[in-house]
Amino acid sequence: MERKKSVIITARVHEELCSVFEKKGYSIKYVPQVSYDELYEMCDAATGLIVTTRLPIDKKLIDRAVQLKWIGRLGSGMELIDVVYAESKGITCVNSPEGNRTAVAEHALGMLLSLLHRICSSFEEIKSGNWFREENRGEELTGKTLGIIGYGNTGTAFSKLLAPFDVTVLAYDKYKFGFAGQYIKEASLEQVCRFADVISFHVPLTPETFHMADETFFDLLHQHPVIINTSRGGIIKTSALKEAILHGKVSGAALDVFEHEQPGALPDIGKENMDFFLRQKNVLLTPHIAGYSRQAFYRMGQVILEKLGI
């Protein structure tokens, strides 16, 4: 008798994803709050796992899941999944950056425009009873040079949104070439640091990219750029960014991701660091929601299904 296919869903997903699994004959365990230990105990008979960045899918768990055929990651980063080991066991691993790239790109652009035109900070002043016009004179994005570090799904989507602003985009990607055209220029990291008025990160978190924006990186900056990070918190060394802001090496920062994020709680970047960022008019923080639009919530599940052939 053929074993019934089953999927464990460890995060909130669009109802359409569950509906498709049911139509395809899967039994579903929908446990969006499951802990690692609970998942370990229940995964031995699972055919598939749907995961996000909340739980590590490590060698121990993979060895326990003896029936596992595939792992679907809602979103882009695969750093919490031991992909190499899983694939060595014949387990297919897929992610869905195509599903939320537009949401991330729009969020990055929104944060940038808000910083340049002092939208959020001036609103806070109005709520406090202050009406400061001269002090809130903004900067136009039009005509500026933007550096994009990482030219994959979200980096490309972000660059497309910039087309109407008559900007020059300097895009650096260590593993991708031949994509220049019109306002998009292929550039080295050194050129991005030298010429960019804005630098936006769109790279996965790997041993190679961890703390790539450290003290040395900020020392290379020439134009006092705005820094945007909608990728992974560990890309930027928090203490180095703080010092860069203090010493005017950057003119602002828009952060949607942080080192050591805690589910349902403020990120653990140190109370002193958090208090500092919250006091700065030229810093804008959001709680890892860039890729979290309602449309992306639906599309990410559809991309997973397409890649798995379900």
Q: Which residues are catalytic?
A: 232, 261, 288
CA distance 257 to 56: 18
Picking from 269, 229, 303, the residue whose alpha carbon sits closest to that of residue 72 is 303
- Residue 55 has a CB neighbour count (10 Å cut-off) of 20
φ/ψ of 104, rounded to 5, equals: -65, -45
Picking from 79, 81, 9, 100, the residue whose alpha carbon sits closest to that of residue 46 is 9
* Cα atoms in the 13 Å half-sphere on the side-chain side of 182: 8
Q: Any bridge partners for residue 305, and if so which?
A: none
Check residue 160 and give left, alpha or beta (phi > 0: left; psi -120 to 50: alpha).
alpha
How far is CA 106 from its chain centroid? 12
Check if the beta carbon of residue 10 is closer than 8 Å to that of residue 51.
Answer: yes
